[in-house]
């Protein structure tokens, strides 16, 4: 149990350090609102799509492709999305429903989920987690683009406009462009992969610094009820339902463990970037990321302990 706690903290602690760095840089006047806007745009339109592209083309699709596991994850994610959306209608103002829903279902699987899966299950966790990550990225970004477009003050909600928002989303474009390269093993020059890697590695630090710089006590107090409700959905209720469903469907061992780690991971930093890009309540998005990142340390370890006690993993 202690080893699992240490693994979880080792993954989440760097996330918190970058958040606190953003707070400190803003307080000492080293970054301002202009930097936050520019950096968030750069992450959304440049570095993060590049990171997703490179992550998918490096995944080993042939050895870790498990249709049943992938299908269950997509169905469960859609179910979690609909539950969170329905609950948001009861729990929060209309303008914040997109942020609430995205915060409740969209996990940080590319960083936290994959790292824990690899730490617990070695090469198997890495290969299955990487392939699952490609499905995660596409599913999360399509659903997030839809829900944010519906409730964004800057977006139109007719079918054509929603379709354009999805098709033009840089994160989705990055994933779709990578699929043929991964499927057909199209080689890219080594220098291009190295340069792209340098560019992509800015994604998480920049996003987390911007989130930290955006956080204030006032914003946390004003959105505390909504943020806490969305966070509990993310790290408690939805992982509980999705993992229970996976167990009832017959998943056991490493496969169930990987599914649980992906369901229980804290809200992705990309949710803040997307919220800011569409003019939504990005301060609420930042608060949800902070709360879920802290709470996931407890929920992850408790969930793993319970799954081990019942003999499912």
Domain ranges, residue 238? 2-309
**Do 269 and 121 contact (CB within 8 A), yes or no?**
no
Instruction: Tell me, letter by letter, the H, E, C secondary structure of the chain.
Output: CHHHHHHHHHHHHHHHHHHHHHHHHHHCCCCCHHHHHHHHHHHHHHHHHHHHHHHHHCCCHHHHCCHHHHHHHHHHHHHHHHHHHHHHHHHCCHHHHHHHHHHHHCECHHHHHHHHHHHHHHHHHHHHHHHHHHHHHHHHHHHHHHHHHHHCCCCCCCHHHHHHHHHHCHHHHHHHHHHHHHHCCCCCCHHHHHHHHHHHCCHHHHHHHHHHHHCCHHHHHHCHHHHHHHHHHHHHHHHHHHHHHHHHCCCCHHHHHHHHHHHHCCECCHHHHHHHHCCCCHHHHHHHHHHHHHHHHHHHHHHHHHHHHCCCC
Of 136, 124, 133, 131, nearest to 254 by C-alpha is 124
CA atoms of 5 and 108, how far apart (whole Å): 18
Rounded CA-CA distance 268/108 in Å is 4
Q: What is the pLDDT of residues 207-245, one digit of tens each?
A: 889 888 887 766 666 557 899 999 999 999 999 999 999
Write the pLDDT tens digit of every residue in 147-189. 998 887 666 556 677 777 778 888 888 888 988 888 888 899 9
Mean pLDDT of 77-89: 96
| Residue-level pLDDT at 119 | 77
Indicate which CATH number applies to the domain containing 221.
1.20.1530.20
pTM: 0.82
Task: Check whether 111 has a pLDDT greater than 90.
Answer: no
**pLDDT score recorded for residue 312:** 93
Number of domains into which the chain is organized: 1
């Amino acid at each position: 149990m202690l080893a699992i706690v240490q693994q979880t903290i080792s993954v989440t602690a760097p996330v918190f350090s970058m958040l606190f760095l953003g707070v400190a840089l803003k307080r000492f006047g080293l970054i301002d609102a202009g930097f936050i806007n520019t950096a968030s745009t750069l992450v959304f339109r440049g570095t993060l799509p590049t990171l997703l592209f490179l992550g998918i083309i490096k995944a080993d699709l042939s050895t870790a492709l498990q249709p049943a596991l992938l299908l269950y994850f997509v169905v469960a994610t859609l179910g979690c999305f609909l539950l969170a959306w329905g609950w948001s209608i009861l729990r929060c103002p209309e303008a914040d429903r997109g942020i609430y829903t995205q915060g409740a279902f969209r996990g940080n699987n590319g960083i936290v989920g994959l790292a824990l899966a690899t730490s617990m299950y070695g090469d198997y966790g890495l290969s299955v987690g990487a392939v699952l990550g490609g499905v995660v990225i596409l599913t999360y970004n399509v659903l997030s683009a839809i829900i944010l477009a519906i409730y964004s003050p800057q977006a139109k909600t007719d079918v054509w406009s929603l379709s354009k928002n999805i098709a033009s989303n840089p994160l989705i474009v990055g994933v779709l462009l990578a699929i043929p390269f991964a499927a057909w093993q199209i080689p890219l020059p080594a220098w291009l992969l190295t340069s792209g890697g340098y560019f992509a590695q800015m994604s998480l630090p920049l996003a987390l610094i911007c989130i930290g710089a955006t956080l204030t006590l006032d914003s946390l107090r004003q959105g505390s009820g909504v943020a806490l409700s969305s966070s509990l959905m993310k790290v408690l209720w939805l992982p509980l339902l999705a993992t229970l469903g996976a167990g009832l469907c017959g998943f056991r061992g490493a496969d169930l463990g990987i599914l649980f780690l992906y369901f229980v991971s804290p809200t992705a930093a990309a949710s803040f970037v997307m919220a800011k890009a569409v003019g939504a309540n990005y301060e609420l998005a930042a608060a949800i990321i902070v709360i879920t990142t802290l709470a996931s340390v407890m929920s992850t370890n408790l969930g793993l302990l319970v799954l081990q006690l019942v003999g499912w993993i």
